[in-house]
Amino acid sequence: MDKKNRDLNYSIYPSDKNIHPKSFTPDYKSSILRSPKKSPLSIKNIISDLSGHIFEKNDLGSLDNDLIKNYCKNSEPIGERIIIFGKVLDENSKPIPNSLIEIWQANSSGRYRHNGDNYNAPLDPSFGGWGRCLTDNNGNYFFKTIKPGAYPWPNGGNNWRPAHIHFSVFGLSFLQRLITQMYFEGDPLISICPIAQSINNKNALESLISKLDLSKSVHMDYRAYKFDIILRGEKSIPFENRK
């Protein structure tokens, strides 16, 4: 089989409708006017869709994945010191190397370093709240950071976001592009958060909740939380079609 035809058969599993949130989730008020009314049109993906931007190691700085140090002024930021680690895999359990991961988060008191955030809680002069890294050859990543605080937000009621970290993940294909949020095991705010609850699938929401892993903690310094990220997988080409 020539290269061109093989590429044309190359394909990827669809986005899983049972897992991702619907666009219209009225308990999350911002979705009401920002959700398309029509379902997205399915078109069979073709060669042109299955590639993605390739990032290089030297695009990144050496402290980009260390939020303790990457905005540090005179003293280190205040808060619970944690490591977030895990793998980026596809649905076939195949590790995805060289995937850019970007994270952003509030500081330990629940305040973002962003002009749009007017919460009373103070900024931490030593904490920016952003990090990025590339996965290694086995799909592994890690960040050092401060556990973010919960914070109130305008959604028409007494709404509090559970502690969370935003994740932007590239994978290897533009079709694998994902933005999501990671939560923390044991947080009572998860079950009453309209954004977390926009996911109408218990197991899917559970997969966003990082788990404490003391075996990866650093003695007398950091405790560790594990969070694996699963992106759409490549479909194998049936052997009989490979002629």
Confirm or reject binding of residue 138 to another protein (CB under 8 A): no
Residues 17-36 within binding reach of another protein (CB under 8 A): 19-23, 25, 28, 30-36
Cβ burial, residue 66 (10 Å; 0-12/13-18/19+): middle
Cβ nearer to another protein, comparing 32 with 192? 32
For residue 220, the minimal CB distance to another protein (Å) is: 27
Q: Give dist(CA 63, CA 103) in Å, integer.
A: 13
Interior angle at CA 171, CA 168 and CA 172, nearest 5: 145
Q: Are 51 and 229 in contact (CB under 8 A)?
A: no
Please indicate whether residue 112 is annotated as part of the active site: yes
For residue 150, the minimal CB distance to another protein (Å) is: 14
Q: Give dist(CA 116, CA 114) in Å, integer.
A: 5
Q: Count residues binding another protein (CB under 8 A).
A: 97
Confirm or reject binding of residue 143 to another protein (CB under 8 A): no
Please indicate whether residue 183 is annotated as part of the active site: no
Please indicate whether residue 141 is annotated as part of the active site: no
Contact with another protein (CB under 8 A): which of 77, 129, 149, 162?
A: 129
Contact with another protein (CB under 8 A): which of 112, 141, 142, 143?
A: 112
In Å, how far from its chain's centre is CA 224? Answer: 17
Contact with another protein (CB under 8 A): which of 80, 125, 185, 236?
A: 236
Contacts of residue 243, Cβ cutoff 8 Å, sequence gap at least 6 = 1
Please indicate whether residue 114 is annotated as part of the active site: no
Q: Check 151, 183, 225, 232 and give the catalytic one.
A: 151
Dihedral angle of Cα 39, 206, 158, 161, to the nearest 10 degrees = -90
Q: Which residue matches tokens 């060669």?
A: 47
How many of the other CB atoms lie within 10 Å of CB of 118?
A: 8
In 50-122, which ranges are E strands? 81-90, 100-105
Q: Check 20, 81, 166, 177 and give the catalytic one.
A: 166
Confirm or reject binding of residue 90 to another protein (CB under 8 A): yes
For residue 157, the minimal CB distance to another protein (Å) is: 17
Please indicate whether residue 132 is annotated as part of the active site: no
Residues 150-189 within binding reach of another protein (CB under 8 A): 166, 168, 172, 174-175, 177-181
Q: Which residues are catalytic?
A: 112, 151, 161, 164, 166
